[in-house]
């Protein structure tokens, strides 16, 4: 899986210079100017993702929708890991939906919760179940900061070994991301803020492509 195709280029550049230089890369890992970078940002399709270290600030364009396929070994590991962190058996013939929080979002308000929490609406899970038989999981990187994510009512599971993060979510975006995995190993990821309609739409697409 190649979610970080130019990681080595970024690391190499970051090793040079004493001042923090700024570098910009498009969605294909090609270095571009700041103006070119800004002109390519369209939040409906991609997001700006910044990596900062002691010597450089690296801005990258991340495509929001990503499709891939797990090899059989990784797929089996994922299934066993979900059993481990959830404490229950899962039906491996069903599609898996993972709603993931990848970091500690520091600033929230009641308005944010209402505006961006549509996956927390009461109809989210029932509609998922109508679209396809599925195993849905709420998973977070950190066991903290769940006050605005219905932490007291939803069964959040901690990504204790960072397996899900490493497999699907190397980038941290506010309000999380989502992964949908078919029993045949094909998967879809949507990075960054999303709503229930986005999940329903891509779950339907997966069922259309690969069956349920």
Q: Side by side, which strands form the sheet with 56-63?
A: 31-32, 21-25, 56-63, 46-52
pTM of the predicted structure, to 2 decimals: 0.83
Q: Are residues 17 and 105 in the same domain?
A: no
Q: What is the pLDDT of residues 79-128, one digit of tens each?
A: 999 999 999 999 999 999 999 988 655 555 444 444 444 898 999 999 99
Whose tokens are 């990258």? That residue is 60
Q: Are residues 75 and 38 in the same domain?
A: no
Whose tokens are 């944010």? That residue is 112
Confidence at residue 54, expressed as pLDDT on a 0 to 100 scale: 86
Q: Are residues 164 and 203 in the same domain?
A: yes
Which residue from 29, 71, 44, 73 is spatially nearest to 187, judged by alpha carbons? 71
Q: Are residues 204 and 154 in the same domain?
A: yes
140 within domain boundaries:
yes
Residues in the chain: 212
Confidence at residue 178, expressed as pLDDT on a 0 to 100 scale: 97
The answer to whether 105 and 68 have CB atoms below 8 angstroms apart is: no
Indicate whether 76 pLDDT > 80: yes
Q: Are residues 136 and 171 in the same domain?
A: yes
Confidence at residue 154, expressed as pLDDT on a 0 to 100 scale: 82
Q: Are residues 50 and 142 in the same domain?
A: no
Spacing of C-alpha 120 from chain mean position: 17
Could you count the other beta carbons within 10 Å of the beta carbon of residue 43?
10
41: domain range? 7-63
What are φ and ψ of residue 151, in 5° steps? -60, -25
Strand partners, 22: 57
How many structural domains is the chain composed of? Answer: 2
Indicate whether 152 pLDDT > 90: no
């Amino acid at each position: 899986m190649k979610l970080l195709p130019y990681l080595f280029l970024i690391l190499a550049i970051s090793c040079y210079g004493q001042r923090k230089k700024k570098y910009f890369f498009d969605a294909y890992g090609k270095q571009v100017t700041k103006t070119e970078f800004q002109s390519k940002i369209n939040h409906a399709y991609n997001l700006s993702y910044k990596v900062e270290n002691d010597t450089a600030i690296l801005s990258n364009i991340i495509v929001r929708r990503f499709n891939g396929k797990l090899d059989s070994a990784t797929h089996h590991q994922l299934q066993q890991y979900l059993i481990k962190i959830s404490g229950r058996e899962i039906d491996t013939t069903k599609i898996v939906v993972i709603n993931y929080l990848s970091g500690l979002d520091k600033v929230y308000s009641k308005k944010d919760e209402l505006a961006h929490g549509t996956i927390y609406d009461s109809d989210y899970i029932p509609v998922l179940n109508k679209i396809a038989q599925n195993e849905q999981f709420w998973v977070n990187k950190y066991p903290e900061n769940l006050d605005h994510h219905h932490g007291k009512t939803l069964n959040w599971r901690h990504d204790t070994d960072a397996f899900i993060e490493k497999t699907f979510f190397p980038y941290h975006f506010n309000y999380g991301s989502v992964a949908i995995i078919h029993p045949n190993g094909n998967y879809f990821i949507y990075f960054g803020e999303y709503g229930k309609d986005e999940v329903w739409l891509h779950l339907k697409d997966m069922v259309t492509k690969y069956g349920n």
